């Protein structure tokens, strides 16, 4: 499918790469269909781009890249919304806020991470009850080894 | 906005299956109990508002300055 983007021009997106957020993202409930745009560069972040609104896009990243201790509890309701079964591989990503006047002050929203079910391609922005900040400084964080972009749930959530 | 006056132990019913009860009032703070089906998400509203505002800010990112992420890239290879 052809997707218009105010940032990247016209994109050709395979339909199978569509992601659906049945509840939308907080503040954007009317937009439910997104794709993740990969870059040619080895940059650690990706764009979560809305396919219904050309100007709506978020920069997302694997939280394990800068905070190994980050763990979230996925409620049964949230798991239900992404139709996660016991064996489903659920992934986590967090949204970055990059101030235009000081890009190095980039922060990650650890309080409202994105839960993704790779099988159903259903996603949900969680509202955590854990006391994580919405503005976690990415670059003052301690050095961490890199993993894949989307953290497997088994690593993210201890039994 | 509907405004109701309730005493301790009294509640309000919202629809067929949601009930909010005043459990206690102390030092200007009200303790509420919420009974709702598990499919209904209940959060302190300031948390939702903060995430919503952060989303709106994050959505304004025009482009990502790649050089900023070089530090994270170096970490990857370190």
- What ipTM goes with this model? 0.81
Residue A47, pLDDT > 80, answer: yes
Residue A65 is predicted with a pLDDT of 87
- Rounded to a whole number, what is the distance in Å from the CA of B8 to chain A's nearest CA? 26
With a pLDDT cut of 70, the percent of chain B lying above it is: 86
Q: Is the CB of residue B54 less than 8 Å from the CB of residue A135?
A: yes
Residue A15 is predicted with a pLDDT of 86
Residue A32 is predicted with a pLDDT of 96
Which residues of A lie inside 8 Å of B (Cβ-Cβ)?
Answer: 7, 25-28, 41-45, 56-59, 65-66, 76-77, 80, 95-98, 100, 103-104, 106, 109, 111-112, 125, 127, 129, 134-135, 138-139, 143-146
Residue A85 is predicted with a pLDDT of 80
Tally of domains within chain A: 1
Residues of chain A with Cβ-Cβ distance to B62 below 8 Å are 7, 100
Residue A62, pLDDT > 50, answer: yes
Which one is predicted more confidently, B45 or A146?
Answer: B45
- Rounded to a whole number, what is the distance in Å from the CA of B36 to chain A's nearest CA? 12
CA distance A37 to A17: 10
Residue A20, pLDDT > 60, answer: yes
Contact criterion met (CB < 8 Å) for B52 and A111: no
CATH code, A135: 2.30.290.10
Using a CB cutoff of 8 Å and minimum separation of 24, what contacts does A52-56 make? A54/A3, A54/A4, A54/A5, A54/A6, A55/A6, A55/A7, A56/A28, A56/A31, A56/B59
Please state the rounded mean pLDDT for residues A122-126: 96
Residue A21 is predicted with a pLDDT of 96
Contact criterion met (CB < 8 Å) for A111 and B50: yes
Contact criterion met (CB < 8 Å) for B62 and A135: no
Q: Which member of A27, A129, A139 has the closest CB to residue B52?
A: A27
pTM of the model: 0.80
* Full domain range(s) for residue A66: 2-156
Residues of chain A with Cβ-Cβ distance to B38 below 8 Å are 76-77
Give the residue from B72, B73, B76 with the most A CB atoms within 10 Å of its CB, the best one to mutate.
B72
CB atoms within 10 A of CB A3: 20
């Amino acid at each position: 499918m052809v997707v218009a983007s105010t940032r990247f021009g016209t994109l050709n997106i395979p339909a199978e790469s569509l992601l659906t957020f049945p509840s939308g993202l907080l503040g954007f409930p009317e937009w439910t269909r997104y794709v993740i745009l990969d870059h040619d560069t080895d940059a650690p972040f990706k764009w979560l781009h809305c396919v219904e609104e050309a100007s709506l896009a978020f920069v997302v990243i694997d939280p394990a890249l800068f905070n190994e201790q980050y763990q979230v509890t996925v409620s049964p309701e949230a798991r239900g919304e992404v139709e996660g079964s016991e064996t489903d591989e659920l992934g986590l990503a967090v949204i970055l806020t990059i101030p235009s006047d000081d890009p190095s002050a980039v922060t990650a929203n650890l309080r409202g991470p994105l839960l993704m079910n790779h099988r159903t391609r259903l996603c949900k922005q969680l509202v955590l009850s854990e006391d994580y900040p919405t503005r976690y400084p990415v670059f003052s964080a301690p050095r961490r080894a890199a993993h894949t972009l989307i953290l497997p749930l088994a690593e993210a959530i201890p039994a | 906005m509907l405004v109701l006056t309730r005493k301790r132990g009294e509640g309000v019913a919202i629809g067929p299956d949601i009930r909010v009860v005043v459990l206690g009032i102390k030092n200007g703070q009200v303790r509420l109990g919420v009974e709702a089906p598990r499919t209904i998400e209940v959060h302190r509203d300031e948390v939702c508002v903060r995430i919503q505002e952060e989303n709106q800010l994050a959505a304004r990112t025009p482009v990502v300055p790649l050089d900023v992420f070089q530090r994270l890239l170096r970490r990857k290879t370190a």
